[in-house]
Structure 1
Amino acid sequence: MHLQPLLLFLQVFTLVLPSVVPDAPASSAGLELLDPTLPSELPAQTPKCTVAVLDHAFAVGVASLPMVSINYTQPPDCSAPWTRVVLEVAMAASGPARKHRVAAVWLDGVEILRTSTPPLLTAADAFWRVQKDVTRYAAILNRLAGGGTVSMIVDNSAVDLAAVLAANVSFHFYRGELSASSKHTGHPSVWGLYREPADLVIPISRERGSYGSGFWFQISGNPQAVAAPVTVPRNTYRAVLEIFVSYHADDESWYMNPLRFTYNAGDVAASTANGGFRQLYATVDGRFVGGHVPYAVIYSSSINPYFWSPVTAIGTFDIPSHDIDLTPFLELLLDGRPHELAIGVKDAQKYWLLSANLHLWVDRWSDAVQAGIVEYTTPTLKVNRNAQWHNQDGHSEVDAEGQLRFVGWVSTSKGNMTTTVRQKLRFKSQVSVHNRGAVRQADVVNREKTTVTTKSGQRTVGKVQLLMEAPLQVQTSVVRVAGGPTFENTRLSHQLQETAYVKELSEVSMSTLSDRQEAEGSAMVHEEEAQWGIASTRSYYKYTDENSCYLRTVNAQEGAIKVDMASRSCSAISDA
Structure 2
Amino acid sequence: MLPKGFFHRRVVLTAGLVLGLTGSAFGAAAGNTATNKAPSSTSPVGSTNVTVADPTVPRPPGTPCTVQLFSGVAFNDFNPRPYAYAPPAGCGTRWSKVVLEADFSVTAGRQFDRTATLWLGGVNLYFGTTEEPSSTVAPSWHVERDLTDYSALLRQAGNGQALIGNVVNSTYTGVIYGSARLLFYPASILAPAAHAPDAVVPLGSDPVGNTVSLATPSSQLSKSLSLPTNVERAYLDVFVQSQNADEFWYTCVPDQYAAEVQECGGGNFREAEISIDGQPAGVAPVYPWIYSGGIDPYLWRPTTGVQTLNFMPYRVDLTPFAGVLSNGAAHQVAVNVAGANNYFSATASLLLYLDPHAKTVTGQIERNTLVGQPPTPTIGDTLTTDSSGNITGAITTQLSRHFIIAGYANTSHGRVDSTVDQTVGFGDIQTFTINATTYRQVTDQQTSSDGVSQSTVGGFVTGKYSEHMRYPLHLDVNQVTAADGSFTLATVAHQGDEKNLAHQLFGITLYSAKLSNTVDSDDTLAFDASGNLTSHSNQQSTQTFAFNDSLGGCYRTDVGSFSGAVSSYATGTGCPGQQNRLFWFTHPDGSPENGNAVLGW
Query: TM-score with structure 2 length normalisation?
Result: 0.81
Do structure 1's residue 89 and structure 2's residue 92 form an aligned pair?
Answer: no
Return the match for 1:517 from 516, 519, 524.
519
The aligned residue for residue 278 of structure 1 is 270
Structure-1 residue corresponding to 2:419: 420
Cα distance, 1:484 vs structure 2? 8.1
Equivalent AA in structure 1 for residue 443 of structure 2:
A
1:242 corresponds to 2:241: no
Question: Matched residues in 1 for 2:346 and 2:238: separation?
Answer: 7
Question: Which residue of structure 1 aligns with residue 377 of structure 2?
Answer: 383
Residue 200 of structure 1 corresponds to 199
Q: Superposed, which structure 2 residues align to 1:89-488 within 5 Å?
A: 89-143=102-156, 147-156=157-166, 161-176=172-187, 196-209=195-208, 215-260=210-255, 272-378=264-370, 380=373, 381=375, 383-387=377-381, 388-390=383-385, 391=389, 393=391, 394-436=393-435, 438-480=439-481, 487-488=488-489
The one-letter code matched in structure 1 to 2:355 is: D
Query: Quick one: structure 1 residues 58 and 469, their matched pair in 2 at CA, closer, same or farther if it must change by over 3 Å?
Result: same
Alignment partner of 2:250: what SS?
Answer: helix
**2 CA distance for matches of 1:257 and 1:283?**
27
| Partner residue of 1:47 out of 44, 59, 63 | 63
Would you say the 8 A contact 2:65–2:183 is kept in 1?
A: yes
* Residue type of the alignment partner of 1:343: V
1:60-95: CA deviations, max 9, x gaps? 4xxx43321112212313332211111011011114
Offset of residue 222 of structure 1: 2.6
Give the direction of change, closer, same or farther, for the CA distance of 1:484–1:196 in structure 2 (3 Å limit): farther
Question: Aligned pair in 2 of structure 1 residues 237, 530: CA closer, same or farther (>3 Å)?
Answer: farther
Distance in 2 of aligned mates of 1:338 and 1:263 = 43
- Conserved in 1, the CA contact under 8 Å of 2:270 and 2:337? yes
User: SS where residue 95 of structure 2 aligns?
Assistant: coil
1: CA distance between counterparts of 2:428 and 2:93?
A: 47
Residue type of the partner of 2:129? S
Q: Which deviates the most, 483-492 or 422-431?
A: 483-492
The separation in 2 between residues aligned to 1:385 and 1:449, in whole angstroms, is 23
Give the residue type in structure 2 aligned to 1:422: D
User: 8 Å contact 1:24–1:532 — kept in the other structure?
Assistant: no
CA contact (8 A) 1:137 1:198 kept: yes
AA partner of residue 429 (structure 2): Q
1:536-547 correspondence to structure 2 within 5 Å: 536-546=540-550, 547=552
Deviation at 1:223, TM superposition (A): 2.5
Q: Between the two structures, name the one with larger relative contact order (CA 8 Å, sep ≥ 6).
A: 2
Fraction of identical pairs, as percent: 21
Q: CA deviation at 1:550?
A: 0.6
The answer to whether the 8 A contact 2:488-2:526 is kept is yes
What amino acid maps onto 1:459 in structure 2?
F
Contact 1:551 1:573 in 2 (8 A): no
- Please tell me the root mean square deviation across aligned C-alpha atoms, in Å: 3.3
The verdict on how the C-alpha distance between 1:84 and 1:136 changes in structure 2, with shifts beyond 3 A counting, is same
Provide structure 2 residue ranges, at least 5 long, that are not aligned to the other structure.
Answer: 4-17, 23-43, 580-601
From the superposition, tell whether residues 306 and 134 of structure 1 become closer, same or farther in structure 2 (CA, over 3 Å): same
Q: Which residue among 543, 561, 566 is the counterpart of 1:556?
A: 561
Write the distance in 1 (CA, Å) between the matches of 2:452 and 2:558: 31
Q: Deviations over 1:170-217 (max 9, x none)?
A: 1112135597xx99xxxxxxxxxx9721100001113235xxxx6110
Cα distance change of structure 1 residues 479 and 248 upon mapping to structure 2, 3 Å threshold: same
SS at match of 1:65: coil
Per the TM alignment, residue 131 of structure 1 is displaced from its structure 2 partner at its CA by 1.2
Aligned-partner Cα distance in 1 for 2:534–2:93: 50
Check whether the contact 2:79–2:165 (CA below 8 A) recurs between aligned residues.
Answer: yes
C-alpha displacement of 1:29: 12
SS in 2 for 1:335: coil
Aligned to 1:12: none
Moved more, 279-288 or 92-101: 92-101
With over 3 angstroms needed to count, the CA separation of the structure-2 counterparts of 1:346 and 1:332, relative to structure 1, is same
For residue 514 of structure 1, report the CA deviation from its aligned partner: 1.1
> Post-superposition shift, 1:481?
7.3
